[in-house]
Amino acid sequence: MTGPAVPGDPAPRGHRDAPLTTVGLAREAIVLAGAGAAILLQVAHRPVGAGVARHSDFAADPVKRLRHTLQYVYAAVLPEASGMRDAVTGRVRAAHRPVSGTDGGGRPYSAADPQAQLWVTATLYRAAEEARWRLWGTLDDARSEEI
């Protein structure tokens, strides 16, 4: 059984049908399935891990951290969230602006570092893609590249 199509997601809405766009993956909340793995990968990156260790309280309130991460993902990806995109990304930038210092080995870190930001984003994508693969299997190369 399938439901109505959702704009921006050409996949049928049945439980066995893989969402075949980034928007479709976001609508399935697939990021939730990979959230734990993404966090572990994020803090394994030395600069990100140092920033989290010294500036984050996510361990005290992981639900708040997850909520903020999902707000960012949805604002960045979902067309209907475009009106809140600037506000959400502005809050993320403001929250990360003071995050900088040196790690235990004396190496500098900054949440404004584009490579650190890319790492965090890549872990979210990779964890979501892994969950998608486990739920719906392998996609052909063209579909995989499209996502």
pLDDT in tens, 57-99: 888 988 888 888 888 888 888 888 889 999 999 999 999 999 9
Between 72 and 10, the higher pLDDT residue: 72
| Averaged pLDDT of the chain | 82
Q: Per-residue pLDDT for 1 more than 70? A: no
pLDDT of residue 104: 92
What pTM does this model have? 0.74
**Among 82, 145, 93, residue whose Cα is nearest residue 117:** 93
Residue that the structure tokens 């486990």 belong to: 134
Domain borders along the chain are 30-97+107-139
Centre a 10 Å sphere on the Cβ of residue 87 and count the other Cβ atoms it contains: 11
**Among 110, 137, 125, residue whose Cα is nearest residue 37:** 125
Q: What is the Cα gyration radius of the chain?
A: 17
Q: Per-residue pLDDT for 3 more than 50? A: no
**Among 23, 21, 109, 120, residue whose Cα is nearest residue 68:** 120
Which segment of 13-17, 67-71, 121-125 scores lowest on mean pLDDT? 13-17
Q: Per-residue pLDDT for 45 more than 50? A: yes
Three-state secondary-structure class, residue 98: coil
pLDDT band at 132 (very low <50, low <70, confident <90, very high): confident
Q: Per-residue pLDDT for 16 more than 80? A: no
Angle at 45 between CA 42 and CA 49, to 5 degrees: 75
Q: Per-residue pLDDT for 7 more than 70? A: no
Distance CA 78, CA 41 (A): 24
**Among 13, 15, 4, 27, residue whose Cα is nearest residue 147:** 27
Distance CA 100, CA 118 (A): 16
